[in-house]
Amino acid sequence: KNEVEQSPQNLTAQEGEFITINCSYSVGISALHWLQQHPGGGIVSLFMLSSGKKKHGRLIATINIQEKHSSLHITASHPRDSAVYICAALFGSARQLTFGSGTQLTVLP
Amino acid sequence: DVKVTQSSRYLVKRTGEKVFLECVQDMDHENMFWYRQDPGLGLRLIYFSYDVKMKEKGDIPEGYSVSREKKERFSLILESASTNQTSMYLCASSLPPVSNQPQHFGDGTRLSIL
């Protein structure tokens, strides 16, 4: 069964801390997406990756294909980073993403 | 910038009503998606469309239908609304393929069925 698990479900950090959110999946994938959802509902695509590492500003996404695991890192966290972070996997030849249940991140000033 | 517009942010309907949720995108995207989002369950795909008049069932199509008569518009229809369809509904669009194209989301419609 195609499954995506995220951890932790909830994460509270102090401003400036380095943050890691984890995503593991059950079987081989062709792509993994990271998305951000702010209060009020709007969802923004952050990264799409199938191997290695991508970086955008203070955000870094990595993927380890052998271990079926991806991480999203936030350096020098800020209260504006508070949001729900969602990973989603495209399994094999599927044409639709399977989503994790999300990680609620709260960064305190 | 891609704009995906959902017709309502909040909607309240009664059980048994036929409910229409509309979504319009302005970037000529082939792919359009309807998801629902419930606490603890994440986003689940209801239907998606990869071209005009083309559609495929997602994970939870029961109780829903869709219509895509024009490329820019994708409608979700609740044939006879029930209380278990109270949820946040999100529309998205993208270019193909799903693997390496970002999905652009609307702001969502919070639907309550009384």
Residue B1: is its pLDDT beyond 90?
no
Give the nearest partner residue to A96 out of B45, B107, B108, using CB atoms.
B45
With beta carbons under 8 A apart, name residues in chain A contacting B102: 33, 45, 48
Q: Residue A28 is which amino acid?
A: G
Q: What is the pLDDT of residue A27?
A: 85
What is the distance between the alpha carbons of residues B93 and B50, in angstroms, rounded to a whole number? 10
Question: DSSP for A14-32?
Answer: ETT--EEEEEEESS-EEEE
Question: According to the model, what pLDDT value does residue A74 have?
Answer: 98
Using CB atoms, pick whichever of A41, A44, A102 lies closest to residue B88: A41
Question: Is it the case that residue B2 has pLDDT exceeding 80?
Answer: no
Per-residue pLDDT tens digits of chain A, which is 109 residues long: 778 999 999 999 999 999 999 999 988 888 999 999 998 778 999 999 999 999 999 999 999 999 999 999 999 999 999 999 999 999 877 778 999 999 999 999 9
> B7 pairs with which residues across the strands?
none
**Partners of B45 in the β-ladder:** B35
> Could you tell me which of A14, A21, A15, A47 has the C-alpha nearest to residue A102?
A21
Share of chain B above pLDDT 70, in %: 98
Helical (H) or strand (E) element with A62: strand A59-64
Residue B87 has pLDDT above 80, yes or no: yes
Q: Per-residue pLDDT averaged across B24-40, rounded?
A: 94
pLDDT of residue B60: 95
**Chain centre distance of CA B51:** 15
C-alpha to C-alpha distance for A89 and A28, rounded to whole angstroms: 9
Nearest CA-CA distance, residue B70 and chain A, Å: 21
pLDDT of residue A28: 85
User: Mean pLDDT in chain B?
Assistant: 94
The two three-digit tokens of residue A108, written as one number: 């305190």
- Taking residue A78's Cβ as centre, other Cβ atoms within 10 Å add up to 12
User: Residue B92's closest CA among B42, B22, B35?
Assistant: B35
Q: What is the pLDDT of residue B34?
A: 97
CA distance to A74, A84, A108, per residue, from A78 (Å): 9, 14, 8
Say what the pLDDT of residue B100 is.
81
User: Which chain B residues are within 8 Å of A33, Cβ to Cβ?
Assistant: 102-103
pLDDT at position A81 is 96
